[in-house]
Structure 1
Amino acid sequence: MKRLLYAAAGLAAVVCSPVAAKAQDAEWGCQILLCAASQNPSWHGVPYCVPPMKKLIRAMSKPGFDWPICHQAKAGEPGREEFEDCPAGSRPASSSNTDDGVFRRDENDQCVRIMDRCEDRGEFNRLYGDGEANDKNRTTLEILRSGRNDDDFGYRHNKYNGCKVKVTSPRPRRSSPWYFDIPNDKGVKERFWFNLRT
């Protein structure tokens, strides 16, 4: 709630004339910006925010939707990032197909890392030694070696002597994929993440 009050104060300073105005008087775009900035609780827990945000969600499903902008705040339209950063030591990558074989657009929905299972045996076994856990987490292991790369049947039966393993796992999805970069009173932008689930 404290961050909402700070955001409201900053937004009010930008949006309002010298006469102080209440948040309820803000134009719709500024209401959305103010409500999106509410972090604890999120806009879902702020009674003032529920009507303008639900109005936004309904409007987004209509043809020709234009995001309502709070021009005075100089924040523009929101951004969207569907995925969290990959864990340290891994990088984003795209899967080419979904489970049903339908081509997926390039969206960097996987995290990939290369591990040396010989040098880091303990760490490798701790992270990826449980096949059932790997299956449950949809983590795949691919032995990398020079020359032809057969399937990992030999690895499962400890017959491979390759050390480098490519580990691929689904990239974590953000619970709040939308964000506004809102300038504070010093002009420095601060990022506020929000979701549009009802």
Structure 2
Amino acid sequence: MHRVWQFSIAAIMSTATLSSLTDRAAASEWGCEVLLCASSSEPSWRSIPACHPPMHRLISAMNRWGFSWPTCPEAGTGKPGYEAYEDCPAGWSAASSFENHGGRQQNICVQVRNICDSRSSGRAGCEQTVTMPRPLRRDPYFFDIRQHDGNVTRHWFNLRR
């Protein structure tokens, strides 16, 4: 009886391990599909019918509790980066409109202008701070992919259907 029980435990463990490896392989395959589709820029993944199933699956999965980004270990990438805002125009600096409220996202662009003429510059009240909303990126997600020569290429994408 003891031997049968040991055999059953060993069979269950083997099945569980095989199932786990199969699940990881499927997750890795999905992660690699996502990476290939997301890194396509001309045309974007939305213009490639074969990319619709893995990307729509990703978008749906992101709304579930405990979501974990599918990765592609073979490509050496993890989950993507995310930058919601474009850089501010030249001469402007990124800042947060919520600084006094604990906000950390730099969602505005700020520029300090001299509003006095050259004879009165340096006087108090000659500086004016101007702000504008910081432009949102059309494609806020990115993967950094290392090339064979060691250079890194950044591929931007979005998850709008």
Fold match (TM-score > 0.5): yes
In structure 2, which of residues 95, 98, 111 is the aligned counterpart of residue 96 of structure 1? 98
Does the alignment pair 1:47 with 2:10? Answer: no
For residue 163 of structure 1, report the CA deviation from its aligned partner.
Answer: 3.2
Q: Count matched residues.
A: 130
The Cα of 1:119 is off from its aligned counterpart by 5.3
**Following TM superposition, by how much is the alpha carbon of 1:94 offset from its aligned partner in structure 2, in angstroms?**
0.4
Superposition deviation, residue 118 in structure 1: 3.9
Aligned to 1:128: none
Point out the structure with max Rg over C-alpha. 2
Give matches, 1:43-122, under 5 Å: 43-96=45-98, 105-118=103-116
Match of 2:29 among 24, 27, 52: 27
Asked if the contact 1:95–1:104 (Cα under 8 Å) also holds between the matched residues in 2, the reply is no
Instruction: Using the aligned pairs only, state the percent identity.
Output: 49
Residues 152-178 of structure 1: per-residue CA shift (max 9 Å, x gap): xxxxxxxxxx43221111100101100
Distance 2:69 2:117 in 1: 52
Match runs of 1:122-137 below 5 Å? none
Q: Point out 4+ residue stretches in structure 1 off by more than 6 angstroms.
A: none
- Is there any run of 5+ residues in structure 1 with no aligned partner, and where? 1-25, 98-102, 121-144, 147-161
CA contact (8 A) 1:43 1:50 kept: yes
Give the root-mean-square deviation of aligned CA atoms.
2.1
1:185 pairs with 2:148: yes
Confirm or deny that 1:165 pairs with 2:128.
yes
Partners of 2:35 and 2:55 in 1: CA distance: 10
Q: Taking structure 1 as reference, are residues 107 and 78 closer, same or farther at Cα in structure 2, changes over 3 Å only?
A: same
Distance change >3 Å, CA 190–CA 119, structure 1 → 2: farther
Structure with the largest fraction of helix: 2
Letter in 2 for 1:29: G
1:129-157, CA deviations, whole angstroms, 9 ceiling, x for partnerless residues?
A: xxxxxxxxxxxxxxxx63xxxxxxxxxxx
For residues 163 and 50 of structure 1, the distance between their equivalents in structure 2, rounded to whole angstroms, comes to 56
Task: Write the deviation string for residues 93-124 of structure 1: whole angstroms up to 9, x where unpaired.
Answer: 10128xxxxx573200010011223459xxxx
5+ residue gaps, structure 2, are 1-27
